[in-house]
Amino acid sequence: MGNLESIWQEAAEHLESSLPDAKKQWIRRISYSGDRDGTLVLSLSSPFYRSTTEKNCRIDIENMVSEIAGHDIPVEFIVDPSRKAPRTERKAERKAEQSEPVSRNTTLNRQYSFDNFIAGDNSSFAFNACKVIAQNPGTSFNPCLIYGGVGLGKTHLLESIGNYIDEHNPKMKIIYVTAESFTNEFIDSLMSKEKISAFKSKYRNVDVLLIDDIHFLQKKDSTQEELFHTFNELYDSHKQIVLTCDRPITELTDITDRLKTRFRKGLNVDLQPPAYETRMAIALQKCREKGYQIDQKVLDYICQSINTNVRDLEGALTTLSSFATLVGKPVTLEIAKEQLKNFIVSPAIRNNDITIDMIIQKTAAYFNVKDYDIRGKSRNKNITLARHISIYLASILTSYSLSEIGKFMNGKDHTTIMYSVEKIKSILDTDESVRQAVGTIKNDLLNG
């Protein structure tokens, strides 16, 4: 068994980078307290923190530590008032973060700006509309909805609006929040009257409210109700609201009509996949930004092959650049093709009829395990690897979101699914047997 302290450190890192904000705050308060006969003992500084953390995060923590350890690890939470300070590394990290110039509105991610967004044929209308909104918040195009497929720059534009306003109107209160965090925060607030009123006042007293990925609100009736009132209050007082969604509002299901009507007011703009020239301009700009040296022929190959998702385009550039650094020589076209073999799946393929069931069946057959084992909780090494690979393949071959994939896997949560995807990505280049398994199963699926 690995050392429980290091397993906890790794789990905490993953949880902090993947859980919604409302949960992250609890993870940060946890200290490692010890290993009691294989039980991971975690401490919180007060009974309140212990019960809240347990209620909100126990399942996430148990899943993550067991996933990392490769077998079930029982977790116990205790109260230890002397352990006020969370892990020392985390403190140092936070100090480092504090010494960097931070945005006044800390919910914003400063890496996104209008300056580093390439407006092409597909996005210039949305880009210009967002700029106008940022220059005159609350006056024109209110509300505004940006919609389009995965990885096309919705979050980038939304955050750019926030950053621009933050820079030019420092007194304005801006909140950027994903619909998922909004939902979790709302649920958390239901614990007490004070929290509910704090939640309401937080969201109803902003000048600019930016909500990302509102498709997440489907079927979340009470959150929709709360957002409806927030929306009306902000709208009536001419505060700016900008939303993003992965599809046009008319295609949303399980969202009340009155909320849909609100979303459709104002301006709705779409982002389309970029044409080749725009993809090349984006690739060149990402290389400049990150200092990647990639041969023009290779860039051309990437931009030809990845044609509907800018995030994947970026991912390919990062993969090749890391490879070049590792082997200490430039990437040739042949190497690029080989390296990106498992990466470049023409998004057209995502529209194919590959289902998660098919992926699980093929993977189970390859590893000689049962379908239900892949969906289940067994920590057997072989089964765990098969499970990680099925999840990874579902993420690249189907258009399901991580949460949706989780539902197919007997209700695993988004964090566990993300862990599996990251795990396979991180070993794909170095582990020949994994690469071979992924390649074989994928080819099998693609060739019917």
Interaction site with ligand ADP (CB under 6 A): 117-118, 123, 150-156, 282, 310-311, 314
Q: Which is nearer to ligand ADP, 152 or 385 (CB)?
A: 152
Which residue sits closest to Mg ion, CB atoms considered? 155
Stretch that binds Mg ion, among 66-74, 88-96, 147-155, 249-257 (CB under 5 A): 147-155
Query: Mind spelling out the 3-state secondary structure of 309-333?
Result: CHHHHHHHHHHHHHHHHHHCCCCCH
* Nearest Cα to Cα of residue 446 among 346, 308, 379: 346
Q: Which is nearer to ligand ADP, 311 or 407 (CB)?
A: 311
Please provide the size of the chain in residues: 448
**Least distance CB 197 / ligand ADP (angstroms):** 32
Residue 310 binding: pick among Mg ion, ligand ADP, none (C-beta 5-8 Å cut-off by kind):
ligand ADP
With tokens 């489907």, the residue in question is 218
Q: Which is nearer to ligand ADP, 252 or 434 (CB)?
A: 252
Would you call 380 exposed, middle or buried from its count of C-beta atoms within 10 A (0-12, 13-18, 19+)?
middle
Residue 311 binding: pick among Mg ion, ligand ADP, none (C-beta 5-8 Å cut-off by kind):
ligand ADP
Query: Cβ contacts of residue 53 below 8 Å, gap of 6+?
Result: 26, 27, 29, 30, 44, 77
User: Does the footprint of Mg ion cover residue 123 (CB under 5 A)?
Assistant: no
**Least distance CB 113 / ligand ADP (angstroms):** 10
Residue 201 tokens, joined = 């006042």
Q: Which is nearer to ligand ADP, 111 or 304 (CB)?
A: 111
**Least distance CB 206 / ligand ADP (angstroms):** 21
**Least distance CB 181 / Mg ion (angstroms):** 13
Q: How many residues bind Mg ion (CB under 5 A)?
A: 2
CA gap 255, 127 in Å, rounded? 27
**Least distance CB 202 / ligand ADP (angstroms):** 24
Residue 156 binding: pick among Mg ion, ligand ADP, none (C-beta 5-8 Å cut-off by kind):
ligand ADP
CB contact at 8 A, 241 and 267: no
CA 325: distance to chain centroid? 27
Q: What are the CA-CA distances from residue 424 to residues 130, 173, 296, 384 (Å)? A: 37, 40, 29, 11
Q: Which is nearer to ligand ADP, 150 or 187 (CB)?
A: 150
Q: For Mg ion, which residue of 18, 123, 142, 155 counts as binding (CB under 5 A)?
A: 155
Q: Which is nearer to Mg ion, 30 or 118 (CB)?
A: 118
Residue 153 binding: pick among ligand ADP, Mg ion, none (C-beta 5-8 Å cut-off by kind):
ligand ADP
Residue 268 binding: pick among ligand ADP, Mg ion, none (C-beta 5-8 Å cut-off by kind):
none
CA gap 379, 347 in Å, rounded? 32
CB contact at 8 A, 34 and 11: no
User: Does the footprint of Mg ion cover residue 395 (CB under 5 A)?
Assistant: no
Q: What are the CA-CA distances from residue 223 to residues 51, 220, 231, 243, 335 (Å)? A: 24, 6, 12, 15, 49
Interface positions with Mg ion (CB under 5 A): 154-155
